Amino acid sequence: MIPVRSYFKLLVEYLRPLRLRVALLTVVLLVSIALQLVNPQIVKVFIDRATSGAASDTLIPLAIWFIVIAVAHQAFSVASTYLAEDLGWAATNEMRARLADHVLRLDMGFHKEHTPGELIERIDGDVTSLSNFFSAFTIRVIGNLVLLTGILVLLWVENVWVGLGLTTFSLIALAIMLRLQLVTVPWWKQVRATSAKLFGFVGEQLGGTEDIRANGGVPYMVYRFTAILREWLPEQVRGRMGFAVLWATGIWSYVIGTALVFWIGSVLFGNGAMTLGSVYLVFYYTGMTRQPMDQIRGQMEDFQKAGAGIARVEELFSRTSVLGVDGVRHLPVGALSVAFDDVEFAYDDAAGDERVLHGVSFELAPGRVLGVLGRSGSGKTTLARLLTRLYDPQSGAVLIGGVDAAHVATEELRKRVGMVTQDVQLFRAPVRDNLTFFETNGHGDAHLIEVLHRLGLEEWLATLPAGLDSQLESGGGGLSAGQAQLLAFTRIFLRDPGLVILDEASSRLDPMTETLIERAVDRLLDGRTGIIIAHRLATVNRADDILIMEDGRVVEFGERVTLAADPDSRLSTLLATGMEEVLA
């Protein structure tokens, strides 16, 4: 159950910055309601005068005023609807931005628990249901409650017994609908959760379409898709049943209310307590109560969805990163030293996962290049993830530039530590935006071309059909693996980091771009500390120092030349036997 204060808190938090729009909407909405309430009063006077034999010249002005007010009411109604929708989307766009920023700052453990499709559904789908809540709550719920209150007040003024009867009946009907709404909120929360699961599954399959089709996995994926839909269907049916009950409640409320008014009106008119115009007025106002009651009832379904959305959004906002609070210390300028001090690490220590790193310790001086070798699963990539602070170690310390990485502001650390992996993320955008990550400040075309020239990539740029304006496809479509690596090197160079990590960055390079790659790596590492993680021995020929990992432990560390000259070292043995498969 979502308490009312959660709705109110959400409205206040996101509508406060838009208070001028809220004030304008309030004025327009109140005027629209007032006009809607005034017109029946004109009709009442018209009927009473007409039945009493009044001259036509006294009736015509009333008819004209009725038309003018009716047109004005429609204009204000359209304006209020527009303002409410604009307000709702403005507020929820801000929520989407905050939620996306929050999720992007969470640790990698969280992102491994949730698929991209699921997160898209939670950030966009759940918040979209809230955009309906913002606009509907303002224009249809609050507005119709005010309208209903105005109708009841005027009925009390017209006749105490009519006012008392309709007020009692309306309060009972609203209480029943609110009670039903509280019961059905958990149903819609489960619907939203299964919806996120479905979109997460679809996202995974779209990303792996090529492998799934090539390996004959389509029937199994269709089976899984069908299983999720079968899980989703009864939850949707249950959620819709809640709406159906609310709908039936609204219909019965109108039927009973109309019967009640006809009975009271006939009695009072027969006793001479009400005129024909008054009876019409009561009947018209009673009919008007159906509109706010129906719209409030209709919005209860959105309340159900909004309640589920609020719960899931608050749950996501409450999720904190295991990395803790950002540090405040700064890294020194220039090339950065690296040190691991007795580091122990497991990806999910709370779940009892086996340690990936065991007492890892080494030091790398500023400006030197370290080659990291080892079998798959030996912990090489984990070193890179700790250096970029995607994770924090369970014990020990990772020092960058002599400062514990946990004490450095994450934004500064990610700027000063650049990493290139074998899988380069590209966006459906021009080469220019892919190089700068859509950052325009300080990255004009002349600067980009200069950087490409310094990296020796002018020939690569010349091969692109429209230069920096060449459109790239998401996922690397249109570029070879080597070209994607070249683009990634340029990204890092533009940031001018003090530490560069190349994680298997040469494992997928095509021979046609090998020379360009080697030249770009040399320029990229010039004047910077470098860490090259590789399977192949040839990849680390440019390294000053070598680190060999095995089962999460450092089994050898030292200068490459010294280790190569020592016949008892592991590196020397690998070089002598040419057993590069040992590292695979």
394 in a structural domain = yes
With tokens 């709406």, the residue in question is 243
Count of C-beta atoms within a 10 Å radius of residue 470: 16
Q: Are residues 310 and 445 in the same domain?
A: no
Q: Are residues 308 and 357 in the same domain?
A: no
Q: Are residues 350 and 312 in the same domain?
A: no
Give the per-residue pLDDT at 350.
Answer: 63
Residue 421 phi/psi, 5° resolution?
A: -110, 175
Buried-state track 190-217, b at ≥16 Cβ within 10 A, e below 16: bbbbbbbbbbbbbbbbeeeeeebeeeee
Q: Are residues 373 and 266 in the same domain?
A: no
Q: Are residues 292 and 342 in the same domain?
A: no
Query: Among 118-122, 188-192, 563-567, where is mean pLDDT lowest?
Result: 188-192
Element (DSSP H or E) covering residue 219: helix 218-270
8 A C-beta contact, residue 355 and residue 344: yes
329 in a structural domain = no
Count of C-beta atoms within a 10 Å radius of residue 503: 21
Distance separating alpha carbons of residues 549 and 545, to the nearest angstrom:
13
Q: Are residues 455 and 509 in the same domain?
A: yes
Q: What percent of the chain has pLDDT over 70?
A: 83
**Averaged over 252-256, what is the pLDDT?**
73
Can you list the alpha helix ranges (DSSP code H) found in 319-388?
Answer: 380-387
**Averaged over 369-392, what is the pLDDT?**
89
With 0-12 / 13-18 / 19 or more C-beta atoms within 10 angstroms meaning exposed / middle / buried, residue 495 is middle
Residue predicted with more confidence, 402 or 169: 402
- Output the average pLDDT for the chain: 80
Q: Is residue 385's pLDDT more than 70?
A: yes
Give the per-residue pLDDT at 279.
Answer: 76
Element (DSSP H or E) covering residue 301: helix 276-318
Distance separating alpha carbons of residues 541 and 546, to the nearest angstrom:
10
Q: Which amino acid is at 97?
A: A
Q: Is residue 3's pLDDT more than 60?
A: no
Q: Are residues 203 and 65 in the same domain?
A: yes
Give the per-residue pLDDT at 359.
Answer: 93
Residue predicted with more confidence, 210 or 18: 18
123-176 tens-digit pLDDT: 887 787 777 666 656 566 777 778 888 888 887 887 787 778 778 877 777 777
Q: Is residue 373's pLDDT more than 70?
A: yes
**Averaged over 77-103, what is the pLDDT?**
85
Q: Is residue 430's pLDDT more than 70?
A: yes
330 in a structural domain = no
Q: Are residues 277 and 356 in the same domain?
A: no
Q: Are residues 74 and 210 in the same domain?
A: yes
Query: Among 128-137, 394-403, 494-503, 525-534, where is mean pLDDT lowest?
Result: 128-137
Q: Are residues 275 and 399 in the same domain?
A: no
Q: Is residue 474's pLDDT more than 60?
A: yes
228-242 tens-digit pLDDT: 888 888 877 877 776
Distance separating alpha carbons of residues 295 and 138, to the nearest angstrom:
12
Written as six digits, the tokens of 439 are 């950052």
Identify the domain boundary among 264, 283, 318.
Answer: 318
DSSP state letter for 430:
B
CA dist 256 → 41, 197, 248, 249, 251 (Å): 24, 43, 12, 11, 9
Best mean pLDDT range from 19-28, 325-334, 428-437, 540-549 = 540-549
Confidence of residue 374 (pLDDT cuts 50, 70, 90): confident
Q: Are residues 296 and 359 in the same domain?
A: no
8 A C-beta contact, residue 543 and residue 371: yes
Residue predicted with more confidence, 188 or 565: 565
Q: Are residues 79 and 224 in the same domain?
A: yes
Which residues fall within 8 angstroms of residue 301, CB to CB, at 6 or more apart? Answer: 242, 243, 246
Give the per-residue pLDDT at 581.
Answer: 46
Q: Which amino acid is at 77?
A: S
pTM: 0.63
Q: What percent of the chain has pLDDT over 90?
A: 14
326 in a structural domain = no
Residue 289 phi/psi, 5° resolution?
A: -65, -25
Give the per-residue pLDDT at 251.
Answer: 72
Identify the domain boundary among 318, 352, 371.
Answer: 318
Nearest to 297 by CA among 129, 435, 173: 173
* CATH number of residue 410's parent domain: 3.40.50.300
Confidence of residue 582 (pLDDT cuts 50, 70, 90): very low
**Averaged over 286-313, what is the pLDDT?**
69
Confidence of residue 211 (pLDDT cuts 50, 70, 90): confident
Give the per-residue pLDDT at 234.
Answer: 82
Give the per-residue pLDDT at 578.
Answer: 62
Count of C-beta atoms within a 10 Å radius of residue 112: 10
197 in a structural domain = yes
Strands 403-404 and 553-559: unpaired
Identify the domain boundary among 263, 284, 318.
Answer: 318
Nearest to 121 by CA among 190, 198, 186: 198
Distance separating alpha carbons of residues 87 and 23, to the nearest angstrom:
11
Give the per-residue pLDDT at 584.
Answer: 45
DSSP state letter for 442:
T
Structural domain total, the chain: 2
327 in a structural domain = no
* CATH number of residue 168's parent domain: 1.20.1560.10
Which residues fall within 8 angstroms of residue 322, CB to CB, at 6 or more apart? Answer: 107, 109, 392
Written as six digits, the tokens of 446 are 């002349």
341-359 tens-digit pLDDT: 999 998 876 666 688 999 9
108 in a structural domain = yes
Angle at CA 575, nearest 5°, toward 569 and 579? 105
Domain span at residue 437 reads: 338-583
Nearest to 99 by CA among 2, 206, 13, 202: 13
Element (DSSP H or E) covering residue 404: strand 403-404
